[in-house]
Structure 1
Amino acid sequence: MYWEMGAHGRKKKLTAPESVVAIECRDTVAGKTEYKWEKNDLTMLYWLKHLQDIFNYPKIDFIRFVTNSFQFDIDDIKEIFGNTLKIIIGDTGCHVFNQMILERFSPIERLKIMTSDFPNSNVPERILMQNFDGLEIGDMWMETTIMSLDQLLLINSGIDIIRVDGVKATIQFKNDHPLPSLEMFVWFDHCIVES
């Protein structure tokens, strides 16, 4: 990593890692095998492409932004990792950086956020109104997420609510003409819904 002028001031760039560790685990063999390369001069982009070629898996399933992610240049991250179907935003330490993630990686099919990712813990209406395939809003360690009825009515995405005893409910919005509707399913072990 090195510091360079990036989006919103001086930001760290993703450079060649000092070492790379690959761990191989198999269901049929006990234990694991670890491979380590020291002091390599290959770039982060090279390692990503190399691993994608080895495992024949060219896409990125998700990118998770966590503690101190805001120190890195978002444009550099986007250039190396490209688009992904899912973004997870944890406690990055900067509300402005969180906004930049949403801007740079748009469109996003699945989004997982915490209310604390936004000033005053208010999720912006423009996020709630987007039609995500999946939208998870919650704080770490199963803390309660409070949303007003108006906020719930703005959401255009599959909403799951989990009670403290583990019972799960799903609210589904249907924009069927002429009468849009809201359905709520409470999931018990014996419940099956046909679509």
Structure 2
Amino acid sequence: MDDSVPIEIVNSNNIMFYYRWDGPHYKWRKEGFEAKDWLDHFKTTFHLKEFGIRFWDYAAVVNIDSLYKQFGTPTFLSIRKNFGHDINNRILKVLAPKKNLYATSSIFENWHNCNTILIQTLDELGTYGPDSSFTLDHLLCINARKIVCFVPGVSLKVLNKFLKLWMSGSNARLEQLYFELISFSRGSDIVMEGIPYHLVPKEQNQQRRFKSWDGKVEACNGEGMDIYRFDGTKATVCIIQTQMNVHLYFYVWHDHCIVNNVV
């Protein structure tokens, strides 16, 4: 066998199930089953309408087209490593998810990848990684309802500029934004610099409930800083500061996000 030829996922008589890395694992076997048969079996057995594909390793040796042939379009796609420009693009083109995409921030080094990823009308886009390849331009291109970023290298000033541009009209679909980054500075001083806001005390702010598009409800965190978009749309910025980290929560109060008329 030529190792340079990508492997097609066809005959999968055996299937392994892992419950977390350190948990129990199970193995099933059925002669003549292909990967698609296993997926259909589990979807029927557990009444599942959605499924996801996660790439950890070995994407370079798998035929991406054969994955699509077997599984179709995934609901969720996770790319945990940067497999190089060509493979990244192939995965994102062939297996573009219906709802959620999670990817290492290093794939944003190439702007062509960004065009493929960021403009999709996703429900949620998450990115993570130690590098600083993720920039303000990336944020402004995102068309997802929820953005989740664990990218320590992003500057607090980037978030300040983003909030100002959101107030001016960017990212119209956005409902929620969460950022975790490293900073020893007081986050609220930098993030909210030059932005007019109304401070909501912690006790009052934590009484507010935010309802996302999928019906999930969560409480606001800590003090709230209410700001307004040019069209009157209200949003709340919550910043939780720890010794080394800044956690920023951003809630946009679209009509369907308000619970019990408390905003």
TM over 0.5: yes
Structure 1, unmatched stretches of 5+, are: 25-30, 170-175
Structure 2 vs 1, CA of residues 114 and 35 (structure 1 numbering), >3 Å: closer, same or farther? closer
Q: Secondary structure at the match of 2:179?
A: strand
Percent identity for Structure 1 against Structure 2:
20
Matched, 1:48 2:39: yes
Residues 1-195 of structure 1: matches in 2 within 5 Å? 10-17=5-12, 19-21=14-16, 36-37=28-29, 40-60=31-51, 62-91=52-81, 93-106=83-96, 108-119=98-109, 124-139=114-129, 143-157=130-144, 158=146, 159-164=177-182, 178=231, 184-186=237-239, 195=258
- After TM superposition, the score normalised by the length of structure 1 is 0.64
Q: Do the aligned partners of 2:114 and 2:138 also contact (CA within 8 Å) in 1?
A: no
Structure 2 vs 1, CA of residues 80 and 156 (structure 1 numbering), >3 Å: closer, same or farther? same
Amino acid at match of 1:162: E
Deviation at 1:149, TM superposition (A): 2.8
Deviation at 1:116, TM superposition (A): 2.1
Amino acid at match of 1:153: L
Q: Secondary structure at the match of 2:5?
A: strand
Structure 2 vs 1, CA of residues 75 and 163 (structure 1 numbering), >3 Å: closer, same or farther? same
Q: Secondary structure at the match of 1:11?
A: coil
Structure 2 vs 1, CA of residues 33 and 152 (structure 1 numbering), >3 Å: closer, same or farther? closer
Q: Counterpart in 1 of 2:212?
A: none
Question: What is the rounded CA distance, in whole Å, between the counterparts of 1:181 and 1:33 in structure 2?
Answer: 47
Q: Do the aligned partners of 1:89 and 1:117 also contact (CA within 8 Å) in 2?
A: no
Question: What is the rounded CA distance, in whole Å, between the counterparts of 1:21 and 1:150 in structure 2?
Answer: 41
Q: Do the aligned partners of 2:108 and 2:133 also contact (CA within 8 Å) in 1?
A: no
1:136-163 residue CA offsets vs partner (Å, 9 max, x unmatched): 1212xxx254533333333333232113
Structure 2 vs 1, CA of residues 22 and 149 (structure 1 numbering), >3 Å: closer, same or farther? closer
Deviation at 1:96, TM superposition (A): 1.1
1:86-121 residue CA offsets vs partner (Å, 9 max, x unmatched): 111122633212111211233532111112235569
Q: Do the aligned partners of 2:75 and 2:98 also contact (CA within 8 Å) in 1?
A: yes
Q: Superposition RMSD on alpha carbons, in Å?
A: 4.2
Structure 2 vs 1, CA of residues 131 and 23 (structure 1 numbering), >3 Å: closer, same or farther? closer
